[in-house]
Structure 1
Amino acid sequence: MSLLSGLKSLFTAAPSAPAKEEDPIVHNGFIIIPAPINEGGQHRVAATITKGEGEDQKVHKFIRSDLIGSRDECITITINKAKMTIDQLGDRLFN
């Protein structure tokens, strides 16, 4: 490995492995599917929030700036933040 490629690897994020699909959580008619994003050994709070089915289904990609060390803890925090967002915004989440 050359010095230049060694330095480059310090500043380049390794490609993240595909995350396993988490079980959906139903909250007030919305479905939350936690999907933490692996970033350099930490996990970003992220989920997909949906409501409805078929052509009437609405989808919101929920991504926050929080980085958590533990994947399991990140999932717990993601679910709590998604529930709070749903409670605060309801259907306005999809506007």
Structure 2
Amino acid sequence: MSLLKKLFGIGGASEQPPALAQEIEHNGFTIRATPFQNGGRYQLCGVIVSADGTEEKFIRADAFGSMEEAIEMTFFKGKQIIDLRNARMPL
């Protein structure tokens, strides 16, 4: 990538590295929020980690104007995924 592209951020906006992960616990699972910048907005992205360490990444089409909002909605979607799976397959 040329120096001008690096300085002015021309091109490659969708190639931003993931944000630092933030985590919460929900029903024995860890939800890690990892939204990334895409076209000036933050894409909903996260990882669900089970008790045995198995990880499953999820990405949604939802995009937000702030990192904080993307993180909040990642936790919401992660909880939904966990709750829906537990409802289908009771422990």
Which bin holds the TM-score, normalised by the shorter protein?
A: 0.7 to 0.9
Looking at structure 1, the residues matched to 57 and 19 of structure 2 have their Cα atoms a distance apart, in angstroms, of: 17
- Aligned counterpart for 1:72 among listed residues 68, 75, 90: 68
Residue 44 of structure 2 corresponds to which residue in structure 1? 45
Cα distance 1:65–1:20, how it changes in 2: closer, same or farther (>3 A)?
closer
Residues 1:26 and 2:22 are matched in the alignment: no
Q: 1:23: how far off?
A: 2.5
Q: What do you get for the CA RMSD once the two structures are aligned?
A: 2.2
Q: Report % sequence identity.
A: 35
Query: Could you list the runs of 5+ residues in structure 1 that have no partner in the other structure?
Result: 1-9
Q: How many residues align?
A: 79
Structure with higher Rg: it is 1
Looking at structure 1, the residues matched to 35 and 14 of structure 2 have their Cα atoms a distance apart, in angstroms, of: 14
Return the TM-score normalized by structure 2. 0.74
Query: Could you list the runs of 5+ residues in structure 2 that have no partner in the other structure?
Result: 1-9
Which consecutive segments of 4 or more residues in structure 1 shift more than 3 A?
A: none
AA aligned opposite 1:78: T
Residues 1:35 and 2:31 are matched in the alignment: no
Looking at structure 2, the residues matched to 37 and 13 of structure 1 have their Cα atoms a distance apart, in angstroms, of: 13
Q: 1:70: how far off?
A: 1.1
Q: 1:74: how far off?
A: 0.7
AA aligned opposite 1:77: M
Return the TM-score normalized by structure 1. 0.71
Deviations 1:31-69 (A, max 9, x none): 01100021011011110111124xxx2110011111111
User: What SS is found at the alignment partner of 2:21?
Assistant: coil
